[in-house]
Structure 1
């Protein structure tokens, strides 16, 4: 009897991996309950890890029922028996089906929340965000804590512009602009603030992954959408997917044709040759953008453990800008010169992309996974800029100037990742990747002697260039779980080799090898709480236009040129986050710090040589780049999801941090306290009507030569479901009070400049969407889960 008694007292263990039934993707942070039979009393519970694995240890022997609770999925149940002969129950891959409850003729499906705030990732589910209907990716990003998007679509995170854009988990084309990417093309947007070793080290400010719409597990579905906006703004999109046996075919097409009006003002004062000169410009501008794109793909699953995906896409972007402005030139006590100027810019860009990926899992070894992918991107087009003097004194030159940039960029990339579990609580991973970029191009400068004549090429201002960059990379990670603790450590190695040749101005060459460590420690606390500490070292490589000595003229008095001496910016980033959930409320708080050396900054100065050569009573301003000392940013970020009533839900987030940058003279620092705030009200006054009211604010921010003033606005949108949930009508108004504008103040040696830009931001949009197949619109907010964490997939 004694051996039998001792065996009965040996604790048992239950483990497994929770996977999506259709995609076989892991389901992180799902609840697993252990119920004792026959009375179904609770014997234990746990939460799945990021790879979907779970373990219930120290379980008494006996008969049990396991029950899963994953947001947006049906509850699933399994039986387990622990005995002296088999004290461990290893369930392997446990497939869970998405939620879909049939109520009469209406299907109510589990939905994603508008915004998911995890400790190391923020996810916006674009389809649930009514305030992005008819808009662009830039409109969506304005809602994420510490994210800011300027008037040119450039994004910054926590004051850092060193943010890397990804498209479906791969580096995005260099021509991709967030303010030209239709929101209808996207499924989710993921902001990863402190990536681990499995991610590229590029992006000192973090990674923004744009996830495009893909296939769904149903037999066939899709949606067709058309949106019209005030003053000539139109967009349309169509997405379809069809499952046939082991194949799933998917595709989407979209088009956008928008026109925006705005106003600009520039005031520059400089001291040149002991005399004060000033340029004061005011004017109006129009921007016209036309984008068309198509994306086709096929997914082949020969079995539950293998999946092969092939995708091809092509996008064409046409962008036209016309600025008509009045220029007042002052030079000492000389008479004021009054000019009527016009600047036009035409961008004709294209992007082609072919990608393939393979994924292999092993049912007998849960958590073991091999993925491989290859991508080829062809990116190119022309940009033509012209400046004209329409009216002015007879002595002032009237010839028009033109710069034509012709560029082709090829970016092939290959990647292999492998994850191997050592046991239920330990695993290691490794991967290799190679990125290549080759871009030859020309910049032709020409002059039109008189109106209507042909432009004559000027060899003195024309250039040819060739840029090549190769980045081989490798990484390794180790992860271990010990009770409530999770540990992960990683090391990434990257070599950067670049070579640039600009004729006739010169060349640049760099060879750099760097190691990038990262580590994360997390602890699960009682009452649905989680604490996480993470660290990573990252870098911000200058792009090829920042490093080659190629002048690009924005108008007759201002140009931008790269700096061959520019080096990467290196960053140490750390975060301490806490997340707690009770019932339907979620609160996340993150303390963060970001410390950079060799900070890359844009600097504006007077080009005294070009000013003298111009022979005119004005001056030429030059913008270039330099590694300017150290920068730092540290502060607090908060995110709250709070239901107020069954028909009213609040999502609030914000940040407050100290932003510190090196002075442009490199003799000290400039700093201020700044931050962002965003509040979203989600209301469901009826079963078929959803309303979203949101407001955002970005506080003033210092830069090495000045500061950016505050930007704020309010948006409102509503969606009415129609025709038994087969369609929906969306109405939204962006920047309801017309307050969003850009205001920049700069100061350098012998130069001060103020820039004011007011684009057309108050726009009304009316959109109609028709749901095809099994696809359905969002239902009321009381059915919304907190959402899932998305994922880059390594």
Structure 2
């Protein structure tokens, strides 16, 4: 079967190659004419994207021409002159047929309305299920509802199943191997202080879809050198009262209960999502370090092992109301609230080894950390649509407050002494964030559009960190860090379409005012800078099923939080992470070449990308000059390097060989070149230069298979491999991991039972090798969460499983609204 798949892949590549050549070379004969029109939903008048338009003749039962609608519901199809039957189809809608129409010249069919088919909505038909991954030229849309692997999981689990996206064992998100990613929730930056922890709190079942935008236009926030991820939460869009409830339980201890509910009438839509979870995420790590002399000979060693027990309880809820003031005006207000508390027990053992490899003594450090997090957000959205289609004004505002308190008691004892040491650390953070945005879209003459807008983002974060050693405050690790960020932005962009060519030109201006104040040391630092961020997109429609594009954008990555704070962790007393308050932002110029092709059963999307980043962040390890029982303390800090070049190639495939089998594959290969030196003065007043020039290549791939077995049992599997990668101070090793899930509909398809296994082989770890000449050589493994088993039960009322919900209003920055479409 594997050889057959290889042959199929080879044939597909050849077909793609010759089809592209043929499409470019072919010319339309004089007898061809152009048929245009628009497809909408009958009641709401919302455009239907991906509706199918087919032309048939009386002497040929097979379609002789056809196409699909774009995001505005529009189609543009070339046919020979003649008499045709036309069928307009869309999943879960009645077919609209136009019989025996004679076409002699270019014709606009106007607006074609489709009506929902109530009978189809209540049937469970495999072909009506939405594709898990929708591939578009400028983005990928991941629909969470059809993914069995994340039932009972969190947003982090969702992101780790998305093509092009990876989540490391600490919850940090990367896109195409680049961790400079901007994560949005409903088009807005998350109000959480620790975004990785926040993503683990929101239940997967609260998400409708995730949009992956690798090269955003000027309309988007310029933050995120690697691109954007937009997490869109469920809001409910169906008429009447309906909802979904999900209960889950797993091992290690993992319990969750969540639900979505909405009631929609003519003028109002009330919606809410509620979720509670009680979890334990046990993990483990090892770090074996050999310390070297000037001849790189081992003078002593420390073998460090640790186990983690992470207990957490959390509530995540929102409530909102959409008010249709009239046919052209809507106003939505929403409240989001999250609260959680946890107990993280970090048990560290350090075995000290002599130079002759004999055991010396053991040290045990137990870090018992208790955390309390709470955040509140109010968001408001106002949309005014004008008479001309596409002409609208959108006003958004959000106001949030977040508090996070982490306190830890560290107990330190060793076999070579009877003394027991007690350390206490307190990390108290409070953040206020306000966001205000205005967007205006003005369609001009046919085929062109103008957009403009303003965005103000204001953050005020205060971090108090203190350490007490055996009852005595340690001023070396105590500080209050005040971070204030004010970013005001203006943008404008213009798009037009000329025949099969589409153009979009944009320019964004951002004025940044950053204050980083260390209050304990009276060290005040203000950074002011303003920058222009241009963008340009060119698209060519080769045919109604294939397109090619090239795009450019400029992006910024501002350092925040842990990267800046010089005092935030003391779980290990010999390997300490230290933030760098003098970090500067990094800037990225990104170019992306894309191609997409659709066949009946296959969608293929590929891109070639080149990124150049100046002042790129890099983590550097160095000696501190301090020792613990003769063992040197190693510091790890982020620094700005000169330049980083990243080039890569990726492709994504959606393939449905049969009605009962769906495949999705993603492959990404990238080359990362770093150029720069780290120059610093060490503890003995020597000037040290570390050369970080390095060229590294790596790749990762993910394949997901979903099969419908007999008795209507769904089976979904995915496997991911992250290839090894070198850096200037060592290398990371390759990692393979797999997930597995089964589901069965019950209670006349109103309920679904799902069983999944996360990390089937218990192999998802970060494995690193580090070498610092004349100082140390180390090997480390870290597993944030061990293999997990989960059973989930879903119950739906007044909401058929495969119902296609009515299109929501297009919100700014949700990846749809305002994007220029020819």
TM-score interval (norm. to shorter): 0.7 to 0.9
Q: Match of 1:552, SS?
A: coil
- What is the rounded CA distance, in whole Å, between the counterparts of 1:366 and 1:439 in structure 2? 42
Q: How does 1:291-440 map to 2 (within 5 A)?
A: 291-330=314-353, 336-362=360-386, 364-394=387-417, 398-440=420-462
- What is the rounded CA distance, in whole Å, between the counterparts of 2:427 and 2:481 in structure 1? 11
Q: Match of 1:131, SS?
A: helix
What is residue 195 of structure 1 aligned with on the other side?
Answer: 216
The answer to whether 1:701 aligns with 2:725 is: yes
Q: Match of 1:404, SS?
A: strand
What is residue 673 of structure 2 aligned with on the other side?
Answer: 660
**Offset of residue 565 of structure 1:** 2.4
Give the direction of change, closer, same or farther, for the CA distance of 1:440–1:20 in structure 2 (3 Å limit).
Answer: farther
What is residue 524 of structure 2 aligned with on the other side?
Answer: 507
- What is the rounded CA distance, in whole Å, between the counterparts of 1:514 and 1:103 in structure 2? 51
What is residue 112 of structure 1 aligned with on the other side?
Answer: 130
The answer to whether 1:525 aligns with 2:542 is: yes
- What is the rounded CA distance, in whole Å, between the counterparts of 2:47 and 2:512 in structure 1? 34
- What is the rounded CA distance, in whole Å, between the counterparts of 1:664 and 1:20 in structure 2? 60
Give the conservation status (yes or no) of the 8 Å contact 2:592–2:609: yes
- What is the rounded CA distance, in whole Å, between the counterparts of 2:153 and 2:725 in structure 1? 26
- What is the rounded CA distance, in whole Å, between the counterparts of 2:720 and 2:562 in structure 1? 32
**Offset of residue 793 of structure 1:** 3.2
What is residue 240 of structure 2 aligned with on the other side?
Answer: 219
Give per-residue Cα distances to partners, 1:148-182, cap 9 Å, x unaligned: 21111001122211111101110112323234432
Q: Match of 2:149, SS?
A: helix
**Offset of residue 318 of structure 1:** 2.1
What is residue 510 of structure 2 aligned with on the other side?
Answer: 494
Name the stretch that deviates more: 745-754 or 590-599. Answer: 745-754
Q: Match of 1:653, SS?
A: strand
**Offset of residue 46 of structure 1:** 5.9
Give the conservation status (yes or no) of the 8 Å contact 1:527–1:582: no
Q: Match of 1:399, SS?
A: strand
What is residue 18 of structure 2 aligned with on the other side?
Answer: none
- What is the rounded CA distance, in whole Å, between the counterparts of 1:752 and 1:161 in structure 2? 26
Q: Match of 2:762, SS?
A: coil
What is residue 183 of structure 1 aligned with on the other side?
Answer: 204
- What is the rounded CA distance, in whole Å, between the counterparts of 2:782 and 2:127 in structure 1? 44
- What is the rounded CA distance, in whole Å, between the counterparts of 1:98 and 1:475 in structure 2? 39
**Offset of residue 641 of structure 1:** 1.7
Out of 465, 471, 481, the residue aligned to residue 443 of structure 1 is 465
**Offset of residue 773 of structure 1:** 1.5
- What is the rounded CA distance, in whole Å, between the counterparts of 1:635 and 1:72 in structure 2? 39
Name the stretch that deviates more: 164-173 or 527-536. Answer: 527-536
Give per-residue Cα distances to partners, 1:510-534, cap 9 Å, x unaligned: 1111111111111112361111111
Name the stretch that deviates more: 689-698 or 638-647. Answer: 638-647
Give the conservation status (yes or no) of the 8 Å contact 1:63–1:80: yes
**Offset of residue 124 of structure 1:** 1.7
What is residue 660 of structure 2 aligned with on the other side?
Answer: 647
Unaligned runs of at least 5 residues, structure 1: 1-8, 450-454, 780-788
Give the conservation status (yes or no) of the 8 Å contact 1:12–1:82: no
Give the direction of change, closer, same or farther, for the CA distance of 1:734–1:465 in structure 2 (3 Å limit).
Answer: closer
What is residue 468 of structure 1 aligned with on the other side?
Answer: 484
- What is the rounded CA distance, in whole Å, between the counterparts of 1:58 and 1:128 in structure 2? 37
- What is the rounded CA distance, in whole Å, between the counterparts of 1:752 and 1:97 in structure 2? 68
Out of 116, 124, 140, the residue aligned to residue 122 of structure 1 is 140
What is residue 768 of structure 1 aligned with on the other side?
Answer: 793
Give the direction of change, closer, same or farther, for the CA distance of 1:164–1:770 in structure 2 (3 Å limit).
Answer: same
Give the conservation status (yes or no) of the 8 Å contact 2:209–2:231: yes
The answer to whether 1:717 aligns with 2:741 is: yes
- What is the rounded CA distance, in whole Å, between the counterparts of 2:660 and 2:288 in structure 1? 50
- What is the rounded CA distance, in whole Å, between the counterparts of 2:78 and 2:618 in structure 1? 53
Q: Match of 2:157, SS?
A: helix
Q: Match of 2:632, SS?
A: coil
What is residue 580 of structure 1 aligned with on the other side?
Answer: 597
- What is the rounded CA distance, in whole Å, between the counterparts of 2:127 and 2:262 in structure 1? 18
**Offset of residue 471 of structure 1:** 0.4
Q: Normalising by structure 1, what TM-score?
A: 0.88
RMSD: 3.6
Give the direction of change, closer, same or farther, for the CA distance of 1:81–1:702 in structure 2 (3 Å limit).
Answer: same
Give the direction of change, closer, same or farther, for the CA distance of 1:74–1:588 in structure 2 (3 Å limit).
Answer: farther
Give per-residue Cα distances to partners, 1:8-64, cap 9 Å, x unaligned: x9x999766655567766544545568999x9999986654444455679999x999
- What is the rounded CA distance, in whole Å, between the counterparts of 1:410 and 1:671 in structure 2? 41
Out of 535, 552, 558, the residue aligned to residue 575 of structure 2 is 558
**Offset of residue 73 of structure 1:** 5.1
The answer to whether 1:590 aligns with 2:607 is: yes
**Offset of residue 642 of structure 1:** 1.7
What is residue 747 of structure 1 aligned with on the other side?
Answer: 771
- What is the rounded CA distance, in whole Å, between the counterparts of 2:606 and 2:124 in structure 1? 39
**Offset of residue 104 of structure 1:** 7.9
**Offset of residue 71 of structure 1:** 5.3
What is residue 13 of structure 2 aligned with on the other side?
Answer: none
**Offset of residue 198 of structure 1:** 0.9
Give the direction of change, closer, same or farther, for the CA distance of 1:469–1:73 in structure 2 (3 Å limit).
Answer: farther
Give the direction of change, closer, same or farther, for the CA distance of 1:108–1:80 in structure 2 (3 Å limit).
Answer: same
What is residue 481 of structure 1 aligned with on the other side?
Answer: 497
Give the direction of change, closer, same or farther, for the CA distance of 1:112–1:102 in structure 2 (3 Å limit).
Answer: closer
- What is the rounded CA distance, in whole Å, between the counterparts of 1:632 and 1:596 in structure 2? 6
- What is the rounded CA distance, in whole Å, between the counterparts of 1:760 and 1:379 in structure 2? 26
**Offset of residue 353 of structure 1:** 1.1
**Offset of residue 541 of structure 1:** 1.0
Give the direction of change, closer, same or farther, for the CA distance of 1:578–1:696 in structure 2 (3 Å limit).
Answer: same
Give per-residue Cα distances to partners, 1:471-508, cap 9 Å, x unaligned: 00111111111111111111111111111211233122
Name the stretch that deviates more: 261-270 or 675-684. Answer: 261-270
Give the conservation status (yes or no) of the 8 Å contact 1:159–1:659: no
Give the conservation status (yes or no) of the 8 Å contact 1:119–1:590: no
**Offset of residue 208 of structure 1:** 1.0
Name the stretch that deviates more: 282-291 or 184-193. Answer: 282-291
Give the conservation status (yes or no) of the 8 Å contact 2:67–2:544: no
What is residue 264 of structure 1 aligned with on the other side?
Answer: 285
Give per-residue Cα distances to partners, 1:356-415, cap 9 Å, x unaligned: 1012223x41121221110112111201233211343227x5221121011111110011
Give the direction of change, closer, same or farther, for the CA distance of 1:77–1:562 in structure 2 (3 Å limit).
Answer: farther
What is residue 254 of structure 2 aligned with on the other side?
Answer: 233
- What is the rounded CA distance, in whole Å, between the counterparts of 1:191 and 1:115 in structure 2? 11
Give the direction of change, closer, same or farther, for the CA distance of 1:702–1:318 in structure 2 (3 Å limit).
Answer: farther
Q: Match of 1:672, SS?
A: strand
Give per-residue Cα distances to partners, 1:418-450, cap 9 Å, x unaligned: 111112211111111000001123112212x3x
Name the stretch that deviates more: 62-71 or 250-259. Answer: 62-71
**Offset of residue 659 of structure 1:** 2.6
Give per-residue Cα distances to partners, 1:270-312, cap 9 Å, x unaligned: 4589994533212322121222111101111133322211110
Out of 630, 640, 643, the residue aligned to residue 627 of structure 1 is 640
| Count of residue pairs brought into register by the alignment | 762
Unaligned runs of at least 5 residues, structure 2: 1-29, 679-689, 805-812
Name the stretch that deviates more: 175-184 or 658-667. Answer: 658-667
The answer to whether 1:135 aligns with 2:153 is: yes
